[in-house]
Amino acid sequence: MATVISLKDIHRDFIVGNETVHALKGVSFDIMKGEFVTIMGTSGSGKSTMLNILGCLDTPTSGSYLLDGNSVGEMSRDERAVLRNRKIGFVFQNYNLLTKTTAVENVELPLMYNPSVSSVERRDRAVKALQDVGLGNRLDHMSNQMSGGQMQRVAIARALVNNPSVVLADEATGNLDTRTSFEIMVLFQKLHAEGRTIIFVTHNPELSRYSTRNIFLRDGRVMEDSFNSDVADAAAMLASLPIED
């Protein structure tokens, strides 16, 4: 199986005033194509810092990072932007949709920055991505007319539209109620079943049952890295939840 991500001895220091915060203190692991990885850890353990580096939004202070064989550390700012555009889908805790903009237009956004995609293809792919996340009937709804769960689905569709090598989600269910959280987990399991590589960051240990691999961070270090042979079915869990109105 192909290696999508390869981290070696990643450090990330932040300088705050005249103190240095060591957010990551030598993190190494490889992630293969088709894995569904949950990264866990308490607040402040360095999960977001690591995911931002994986998403090429931030660069490590030291260490090497290969994404699909490309050495991110040696890339220029613009090259990293193109890499984000073609190989990464990012899902944020607070959705980060454009306001006063329809679902389709939000999903089209990454393709706007890809000149090789025509406007017709862009629209088709955005519609397809929205159908995949179950929002085929909400194409022209404005982002502010949707529920949290719907907004997060739009964000996931946006992360999928460029057909990325890896989907990164930072506390993607953090702002959602339990039921909606499980709906999103069902969606991630479906995407995984379709063969996508997913890295899912959460501080909620319960969610580790639904992925194939768990990495546990503490204080900027990997404490535990284990495979999960008994993946629970999020859909079954969702069905067992009491229905609220």
60's contact among ligand ADP, Mg ion, another protein, none, with CB below 5 to 8 A by partner kind, is: none
137's contact among ligand ADP, Mg ion, another protein, none, with CB below 5 to 8 A by partner kind, is: none
**Scanning residues 11 to 30, which ones bind ligand ADP (CB under 6 A)?**
14, 16, 21, 23
| Cα first-last separation, the chain | 45
**Scanning residues 26 to 55, which ones bind Mg ion (CB under 5 A)?**
48
Size of the chain in residues: 245
**Phi, psi (5° rounding) for residue 37?**
-105, 130
| CA dihedral of residues 109, 107, 148, 198 (deg, nearest 10) | -100
Closest by CA to 29, choosing from 19, 37, 40, 17, is 37
Choice between 161 and 167, CB closer to Mg ion: 167
Exposure of 223 in the CB half-sphere (CA atoms within 13 A)? 12
78 binds another protein (CB under 8 A): yes
The footprint of another protein (CB under 8 A) covers: 52, 55, 57-58, 77-78, 81-82, 84-86, 90, 92, 96, 98-101, 105, 109-110, 112-115, 119, 158, 162
The footprint of ligand ADP (CB under 6 A) covers: 14, 16, 21, 23, 41, 43-49
